[in-house]
Structure 1
Amino acid sequence: MLTALTLSLLVSHVSVTDFGAKPNSLDDATEAVAKAVAAAKGKGSVVDFPKGEYHFYREHGFERTLYLSNSDVANPRRISILIENREDLKLVGKGARLVFHDRVMPFAILGSKKISLQGFEVDWQRPLMSQGKVEAADATGITLKIDPSKYPYRLDGGKIVFTDKTWARQPWGFMEFDPETRGVAYGTGDWGCLGGGWENYQATEISPGLVRMAFAFKRLPKVGNILVARHGVRDHAGTFILDSKDIALTDMSYRHTSGLGVLAQYTENLTYKNVQIAPSVESGRMFAGHDDGFHYSNCKGKILVDGCRFEGLMDDPINVHGTSVRVDSKVSDRTLKVKFMHGQSVGLRFGDVGDTVSFIDHESLLSRGTAKIAAINRISPEEFDVTFDHAVPELGDGDALENLTWTPAFTVRKSVFGTVRARGLLVSTPGKVVIEDNVFRSSGSAILIAGDANGWYESGAVRDVTIRRNWFGNCLTSPYQFCEAVISIDPEIPKMGTEPFHRGIKIEGNTFEVFDAPLLWAKSAGDLTFKNNIVQWSSKYKPWHGNKEALTFLGCSNVSVSGNQLDTRFTTRGVKIEGGKPETVKVEGFE
């Protein structure tokens, strides 16, 4: 029989400093941390990082061939802190600041169970994006003030080329930020920042750190605002979680990431509490994440996001979805050759033996039936054969498969979605979804419920979504794709089916502070309610959106709108109803 003393000896508590890590020095800590992680044996083991600053360099990172969802193929990946095939391990930072150099993945959790990261601040010495202050802007061009100590650059052939030790890149895009709100400037977004043809500018250096971009830009940024230069690639996530279970992130601050912020795929049960992806005000940066904040691809179990914050992102703060594959050909009555279609889903694992798969009509996105996987034979990173437990239904050209087993329940609460690029929250999962007590200041749609089998192949018809007690504050200030209203239900459906694609969406007890018309835009949605919400009018911005109706229902059925309190100044109360079963769309309080 094990005594308490014996049990205590099975649990190790180690410090990275005991293995050579030197806080508050520029020495590389990769090897010392790896040794500490290896030494932390036994269930419930803890690796401590005493408070201080630790540096990690790309050249010392672990190499792994990994395929990351919604990311570029850039193998091998470099990893600084690797947790692989471990169970019941906690890394505790207690405010430790981890500083990374070059293109590298700070954390990777692979094939592990019950892993916890707690109390770390993640940042880069030289971030993988850059920015400059607009000093002047007129019909002949823009003068940009760049701090070369933070954002080294050179001019090459009349173009700005930002540099580091191992890379040199021209910006492929700019985003304009307002330093007062620290968010995307009103009316800019993807298409309105500098206007078409901006890349034809010619740059000259007036003095070190002061660059003139000569061109008749179709739109000029405001003097004093910040232009964020996007010149990176989606190659390394801030934290990558794969083939794992019961993972927790607590009290984490990601000040910058080189790709997606925290990417989890094929993982069961994830809990993120008090995690922020946001630049520190002291850094002067407007940007944090290079792309999405939290990205969940093909996960299952329960996902909880609690008390988190997102600022300075260059893409959606949260995206929850599956990944469908297109049917290439029929090999036999039970076997299909299928293919990952999007370049950023190459190499993913579609499923496992025993998983339930839905056969998707790519035009209506409706299911033609289901079956279980009996065998999978990989042909290449893109293609594989799938054999099912019974004969497959009749399928058309371009139809797809969706894995229903790897679909999570998702809850996000008490979190803040700042005025970042694009939308706030994307969710496409048939699992139970609860979105409650959050603040949305999104520059695009606050919430997008999408789904498609034709473009990104991000699958997942919703069946039970509750959106309640949230505050939507002046969202939809800039134009982006799939941003039809503050809440957009916008699956990519080439041809409406006989039944709705999405079902069971309840939008109740929220407060909308709006300066423009569109509140809710829904396509192919059934059993949809919009009740007991408060709509307040704001004069902070000028209306600009092309959708002039407050509510739009396309191909919808069983819709109920009632009990909403509308500000008397909110006069754009129009309702548009087309297709579906209009006799089942009941609207009160709107015109």
Structure 2
Amino acid sequence: MEENDIEEVIRSCEQIIDVTDFGADPTGVIDSTVAIWHAFESAKNMTGQVVINFPYGTYQLQKATAQRREFHTSNTNSIQYPLKYIALLLEEQNQVIINGNKSLFMIHGDCMALAVVRSKNIYLHNFSWDFADPTTIEMTVNDIGEINGEQYTDFYVPACFTFSVDKNEKDVTWYSAINPSNGEYYWTDKNHKDAWTLVAYHPDRNLTRRYSLNLGPFSEERTKVIKQSDKIIRIFYGARRPFLHKQGLVFEFCSTPRRETAGAFIWESSDTSIYKVNVHYMHAFGWLTQMSHNVTYIDCTFKTRKESERFTSSYADLIHVSGASGHIHIEGCTFNHAHDDPINVHGTFTRVEEKIDDYTLRLAYIQSQQGGFPQYYVGNHVVFYRRDTLTTGSDEGEKYEVVAVTHPGQHGNDLRSMTVTFDKPIPDELLEKSNNEPLFVAENITFTPSVLIKNNHFETISTRGILCTTRKKVVIEHNTFKHMAMDSIYLSNDSEFWYESGPITDITIQSNTFFVAKVGNAQWRNAAIRIDPITMGNNIPPYTNTIHKNIKIKDNDFYIEEESVLVAKSVDGLSFTNNNIYSYRPEVNPLLPETIVGEEIKEEKHVKTFELIGCQNVKIVNNEFEENYNTSLSFSKMPMGNIKENVIKNRVSRLIH
């Protein structure tokens, strides 16, 4: 359904539920959480299309009065935190439009903002949400100075972050909003919230990246902390203030080891459409789609409100798809200043652990942030892969149909294990091991979507821009990527660490614009496009039997300050054609104080314009380079004859192998 169609359906719908009839308060004075829940549930008494209407205003939502469910969510610490608090929950609904009329939902407490669970034909339309007490703390360097030989930094803290200095005068305690039901804080945290890294925003360069904790406000060198006011913290460092502290730099940190929940959630639902929804913050993780069918995002914005004085739009990812069927469509959206990847679409590998009988296997989630939720349903189709090569075994990719399944947590299974019965005998090969580890993984290929990512804007991200691994057709077109601190587009398939699955068979990356800036001697790559499957033992198969196939990169504009345009590993049928490559000199805002980008110890980075590993049928032709652009190409684990070059237009200056 198009945007105009939704608005017409809203105007003509005969079944309209007004949330204020249930006591919801658009003036923002009282808690509306329970009233909205009752309004949502009343839609179940109607047949056909229903519009749930929110008169324009601000609605307060409290974790204390939110719905509680035991949901397990992918890519989170859900096994440790199974109970979820959901501020806005649509559960077992059909043909419902949430019409927000540009309203704002202000959420109090560390909870899931919204969930669509076991529902069909849901439209979320024209509203925003934010948090009164975001769980990502921000501290901006306001001033630096020295008193009696003691170096100090003054940090500005936005009003939404409440804090106190501990009696030891070395630590800071952060406080959430107060739970109105018991007068206690929803959460408290210390210093950098047990983060394993911090993010710093450089406003003068419009760039964010990760740094080690000891470069932040709570460096181990600190000697004293003073609360100057409700918005200013002064921290002394003796003679060793971290060099990164420059006026205007913004430090941001959240509890990276503790992801209790998805920020928003679509689970076991079909045909969910999100139009003109503005997400100003998500707690713990991103907007997760899990084992659902057909999801659309149109004209959505993931960015903070200017009046909030904050920058971080999400504790982690923004849109994350872990197991979907049908089609994923993301168009016209803005992705800004998240602490992890704006878009990640993938399946999930489960490892073959045990053969129960000739037709039945025990499979298991291996990654620590996977578990508790179903991965297979009766009628689904499954393919098995070798972990050491991410290619199929002797069955050559034969599909096995699920005829029975016992999910994690059922009938004696732990939360990471499941038993799956198939329609045909299981080859003994699937029980092989390497270095005493199971060698094979299974992928549910029924839950692999086609994907369109179009006309979106990605800016100031401390990680990658798009991750996408699926066997179905993928088109990434007419997007702008500006200042990703890591790879702008990263295509993997991983059987060793994250177990995020998906061999690529047909992907087109066309008519996009990439602005790749230096991020300061980082220990990671930030190529424009990197294809990097991860196998057990970090091996790749021979170039005659690659992991990925048919990747077309054409008609793009690349503005590169430093780094590779394309790094590709194990691809058959890789074409890079009709692209323009320019040298990039990012603007530095002269009206803002200058900050330092990068770690103190600098190491020279040696990269090539094109880096190819274990590929075949590679075509790099009809590309234009800016005059004096220093082009180069390296290749390994493949012969030079696997690359077709048009040297007249490419002007590749040297080949290295």
- When normalised by structure 2's length, the TM-score is 0.84
456, 459, 462: which one pairs with 1:421?
462
Cα deviation 1:106-142 (Å, max 9, x = unaligned) = 2111000000111111001111112111134589765
- Residue of structure 2 in register with 1:3 after alignment: none
The alpha-carbon deviation at position 144 of structure 1 amounts to 3.7
Cα deviation 1:266-285 (Å, max 9, x = unaligned) = 11101100111111222221
516, 529, 549: which one pairs with 1:487?
529
The alpha-carbon deviation at position 574 of structure 1 amounts to 1.2
**Relative to structure 1, is the Cα distance of residues 222 and 54 closer, same or farther in structure 2, using a 3 angstrom cutoff?**
same
Q: Choose 143-152 or 396-405, whichever is displaced more.
A: 143-152
Counterparts of 1:335-346 in structure 2, within 5 Å, are: 335-346=360-371
620, 624, 627: which one pairs with 1:561?
620
- Structure 1, gaps ≥5 residues long: 1-7
Letter in 2 for 1:260: F
Mapped contact 2:126–2:276 kept (Cα < 8 A) = yes
The alpha-carbon deviation at position 152 of structure 1 amounts to 1.0
Instruction: Please tell me whether residue 131 in structure 1 is matched to residue 138 in structure 2.
Output: yes
Q: Distance in 2 between matches of 1:586 and 1:192?
A: 46
Q: Distance in 2 between matches of 1:239 and 1:196?
A: 30
Q: Distance in 1 between matches of 2:297 and 2:34?
A: 27
- Residue of structure 2 in register with 1:518 after alignment: 564
Q: Choose 390-399 or 116-125, whichever is displaced more.
A: 390-399
Q: Choose 278-287 or 542-551, whichever is displaced more.
A: 542-551
- Residue of structure 2 in register with 1:466 after alignment: 508
The alpha-carbon deviation at position 238 of structure 1 amounts to 3.2
155, 159, 164: which one pairs with 1:154?
164
The alpha-carbon deviation at position 200 of structure 1 amounts to 5.9
Cα deviation 1:12-52 (Å, max 9, x = unaligned) = 10111111111123311112112222223221100011110
- Residue of structure 2 in register with 1:36 after alignment: 39
Mapped contact 1:10–1:43 kept (Cα < 8 A) = no
Letter in 1 for 2:228: S
**Relative to structure 1, is the Cα distance of residues 9 and 440 closer, same or farther in structure 2, using a 3 angstrom cutoff?**
closer
605, 611, 623: which one pairs with 1:546?
605
SS of equivalent residue, structure 1 residue 405: helix
The alpha-carbon deviation at position 544 of structure 1 amounts to 7.6
14, 32, 39: which one pairs with 2:17?
14
150, 153, 159: which one pairs with 1:143?
153
Q: Distance in 2 between matches of 1:106 and 1:277?
A: 14
Letter in 1 for 2:508: T
**Relative to structure 1, is the Cα distance of residues 473 and 148 closer, same or farther in structure 2, using a 3 angstrom cutoff?**
closer
Instruction: Please tell me whether residue 261 in structure 1 is matched to residue 286 in structure 2.
Output: yes
**Alignment RMSD:** 2.4
SS of equivalent residue, structure 2 residue 138: strand
426, 446, 465: which one pairs with 1:392?
426
Q: Distance in 2 between matches of 1:413 and 1:481?
A: 30
- Residue of structure 1 in register with 2:251 after alignment: 227
Cα deviation 1:352-398 (Å, max 9, x = unaligned) = 12211111100101122332222222412111222221222303222
Mapped contact 1:193–1:219 kept (Cα < 8 A) = no
SS of equivalent residue, structure 1 residue 94: strand
The alpha-carbon deviation at position 549 of structure 1 amounts to 0.5
Cα deviation 1:37-86 (Å, max 9, x = unaligned) = 22232211000111100000011011100011111212210012111111
37, 40, 65: which one pairs with 1:60?
65
53, 57, 82: which one pairs with 1:48?
53
Cα deviation 1:293-342 (Å, max 9, x = unaligned) = 10011001011001001112000000000111111222233222221011
Instruction: Please tell me whether residue 317 in structure 1 is matched to residue 342 in structure 2.
Output: yes
402, 406, 427: which one pairs with 1:373?
402
The alpha-carbon deviation at position 196 of structure 1 amounts to 13
The alpha-carbon deviation at position 496 of structure 1 amounts to 1.7
Letter in 1 for 2:405: I
- Residue of structure 2 in register with 1:5 after alignment: none
Letter in 2 for 1:252: V
- Residue of structure 2 in register with 1:383 after alignment: 417
Q: Distance in 2 between matches of 1:30 and 1:217?
A: 46
Cα deviation 1:254-273 (Å, max 9, x = unaligned) = 11110223111111101100
**Relative to structure 1, is the Cα distance of residues 465 and 476 closer, same or farther in structure 2, using a 3 angstrom cutoff?**
farther
Q: Distance in 2 between matches of 1:298 and 1:525?
A: 23
**Relative to structure 1, is the Cα distance of residues 529 and 520 closer, same or farther in structure 2, using a 3 angstrom cutoff?**
same
Q: Distance in 1 between matches of 2:570 and 2:539?
A: 10
Letter in 1 for 2:162: P
- Residue of structure 1 in register with 2:322 after alignment: 297
Cα deviation 1:418-444 (Å, max 9, x = unaligned) = 111100000011111000000001221
Q: Distance in 1 between matches of 2:241 and 2:471?
A: 45
SS of equivalent residue, structure 2 residue 259: coil
Instruction: Please tell me whether residue 163 in structure 1 is matched to residue 170 in structure 2.
Output: no
Counterparts of 1:183-332 in structure 2, within 5 Å, are: 183-184=207-208, 188-191=209-212, 194=215, 198=219, 201-205=222-226, 207-208=228-229, 209-214=232-237, 216=240, 219-231=243-255, 233-332=258-357
Counterparts of 1:344-359 in structure 2, within 5 Å, are: 344-359=369-384
Q: Choose 287-296 or 198-207, whichever is displaced more.
A: 198-207
Q: Distance in 2 between matches of 1:366 and 1:136?
A: 56
Mapped contact 1:463–1:504 kept (Cα < 8 A) = yes
Q: Choose 78-87 or 386-395, whichever is displaced more.
A: 386-395
Q: Distance in 2 between matches of 1:482 and 1:527?
A: 27
Letter in 1 for 2:39: A
Letter in 2 for 1:389: D
Mapped contact 2:291–2:375 kept (Cα < 8 A) = no
The alpha-carbon deviation at position 183 of structure 1 amounts to 3.7
Letter in 1 for 2:381: T
Letter in 1 for 2:507: V
SS of equivalent residue, structure 1 residue 367: coil
Question: Share of identical aligned residues, percent?
Answer: 27
The alpha-carbon deviation at position 478 of structure 1 amounts to 5.5
Q: Distance in 2 between matches of 1:39 and 1:174?
A: 44
- Residue of structure 2 in register with 1:576 after alignment: 634
**Relative to structure 1, is the Cα distance of residues 141 and 533 closer, same or farther in structure 2, using a 3 angstrom cutoff?**
farther
Q: Distance in 2 between matches of 1:380 and 1:546?
A: 46
The alpha-carbon deviation at position 181 of structure 1 amounts to 5.3
Instruction: Please tell me whether residue 438 in structure 1 is matched to residue 458 in structure 2.
Output: no
Letter in 1 for 2:110: R
Mapped contact 1:146–1:211 kept (Cα < 8 A) = no
Mapped contact 1:333–1:391 kept (Cα < 8 A) = yes
**Relative to structure 1, is the Cα distance of residues 479 and 464 closer, same or farther in structure 2, using a 3 angstrom cutoff?**
farther
**Relative to structure 1, is the Cα distance of residues 26 and 238 closer, same or farther in structure 2, using a 3 angstrom cutoff?**
farther
Mapped contact 2:158–2:310 kept (Cα < 8 A) = no
**Relative to structure 1, is the Cα distance of residues 476 and 269 closer, same or farther in structure 2, using a 3 angstrom cutoff?**
farther
**Relative to structure 1, is the Cα distance of residues 308 and 10 closer, same or farther in structure 2, using a 3 angstrom cutoff?**
closer
Mapped contact 1:446–1:476 kept (Cα < 8 A) = no
- Residue of structure 2 in register with 1:179 after alignment: 203
Mapped contact 1:324–1:453 kept (Cα < 8 A) = yes
**Relative to structure 1, is the Cα distance of residues 203 and 64 closer, same or farther in structure 2, using a 3 angstrom cutoff?**
farther
- Structure 2, gaps ≥5 residues long: 1-10, 177-184, 408-412, 588-596
Mapped contact 1:183–1:311 kept (Cα < 8 A) = no
